[in-house]
Amino acid sequence: MTTTSRTDPILVTGATGKQGGATARRLLAAGKPVRALVRDTTAAAAAALAAEGAQLVRGDFDDPASLPPALDGVAAVFAVPPVTFRPTGPQTDLEAARGRALIDAAAKAGVDQVVFSTVASTSPPAPANSGKAQIEQYLRDHIELATVLRPVRFMTNYLRAGVFSIDGIVGGVHRHLFPPHEPMQVIALEDIAEFAALAFADPARFAGRTLELAGDEPTPVAAAAAISAATGLPVRYEQLTAEEAAAISPDIARTRERWLAGQRWHADIEALRVIHPGLRTLADWLAESGAAAIRAEHT
């Protein structure tokens, strides 16, 4: 193991994305040195992070030789290995290979703490063959102080349509897979960053832990009503039909079928609030930033 201190930088991957960006800014706000792994140091999002105090370093998961310099002298890593999608769903093998490349480089550099943000599990469990599941196991096998965060659906998903043309609000309608009157867990990006910051502040406490993360669980209809009240814009919810889901992709259709069969995210929100008392509800997020962002998109 190399000699590092908690004053050494934390490497944040995906730093120009949602979770990585939120985590980098949370750490910087607390005065923690951040090294941001980016593919293009001249990109606007990267420049914005640099302006806030992050040290930029170029790296690419598909170029393993670029990773060791980024990891030199870091105290810990926040990891969100990038995933790519085919029309039928995520490229599992590629995602797993990217995660293993980072973990191998971290282990070789003597980095003993990695916080890896993956995706929420369901109860009953979905098939555990995703790239993220493979990375989780590889992480536990190779990194001494490994923490896994499993966030549910982001509250910011209300801001724009996602990769499969669902989510967001289009023409006053929010459309998704979820049954309209059943609870649906959501999480603020800032709270994912908060749990990561807590893990970095107390590595021994969070070593070996897997945290299912959510901050609220409104029904989709109640969430649409809350957004309408907070923004002054009329918003309603519509559930995708089986035919509409299949037209998007086979993976979306399978997810819809599993959800209707009873699979649900299962974060223990009250237990999480003991660890992080400031955990945001949907109403909190709307009041803090979400309502203004939604209005800006639709006015």
Check pLDDT > 80 for residue 129.
no
Check pLDDT > 80 for residue 15.
yes
Q: Which amino acid is at 32?
A: K
pLDDT band at 2 (very low <50, low <70, confident <90, very high): very low
pLDDT one-digit tens code per residue, 173-200: 999 999 999 999 999 999 999 999 999 9
Q: Does residue 3 fall inside a structural domain?
A: no
Q: Does residue 91 fall inside a structural domain?
A: yes
Q: Does residue 232 fall inside a structural domain?
A: yes
Tell me if 127 sits within 8 A of 16, measured CB to CB.
no
Domain count for the chain, please give it: 1
Question: Could you tell me where the DSSP H helices lie in 4-89?
Answer: 18-29, 44-51, 67-71
Q: Does residue 165 fall inside a structural domain?
A: yes
| Residues sharing a CB contact under 8 Å with residue 73, sequence separation 6 or more, in sequence order | 2, 4, 8, 9
pLDDT one-digit tens code per residue, 67-93: 999 999 999 999 997 776 665 566 788
Whether the link from the prior residue into 124 is cis, omega within 30° of 0, is yes
Q: Does residue 5 fall inside a structural domain?
A: no
Strand partners, 77: 11, 114
> By residue range, what is the domain housing residue 292?
10-298
pLDDT score for 132: 85
Residue whose structure tokens are 């029904």? 219
Q: Does residue 147 fall inside a structural domain?
A: yes
pLDDT score for 99: 93
Average pLDDT in the 247-252 region?
88
Check pLDDT > 90 for residue 291.
yes
Q: How far apart are CA 50 and CA 270, in angstroms?
A: 36
Q: Does residue 86 fall inside a structural domain?
A: yes
Check pLDDT > 80 for residue 206.
yes
How buried is 93 (Cβ within 10 angstroms: 0-12 exposed, 13-18 middle, 19+ buried)? exposed
Q: State the average pLDDT for the chain.
A: 92
Q: What torsion, rounded to 10 degrees, do the Cα atoms 217, 192, 190, 279 define?
A: 50
pLDDT score for 168: 93
pLDDT score for 89: 60
Tell me if 259 sits within 8 A of 177, measured CB to CB.
yes
Chain centre distance of CA 86: 20
pLDDT one-digit tens code per residue, 132-154: 889 999 999 999 999 999 999 99
pLDDT one-digit tens code per residue, 89-113: 667 888 899 999 999 999 999 999 9
Check pLDDT > 80 for residue 130.
no
| Residues sharing a CB contact under 8 Å with residue 193, sequence separation 6 or more, in sequence order | 19, 22, 23, 25, 26, 27
CATH number, residue 215:
3.40.50.720
pLDDT score for 154: 96
φ, ψ of residue 272 to 5 degrees: the values are: -65, -35
Check pLDDT > 90 for residue 51.
yes
Q: Does residue 4 fall inside a structural domain?
A: no
pLDDT band at 5 (very low <50, low <70, confident <90, very high): low
The count of residues in the chain is 299
Q: How far apart are CA 28 and CA 17, in angstroms?
A: 16
Backbone CA torsion sign across 284, 157, 258, 256 = positive
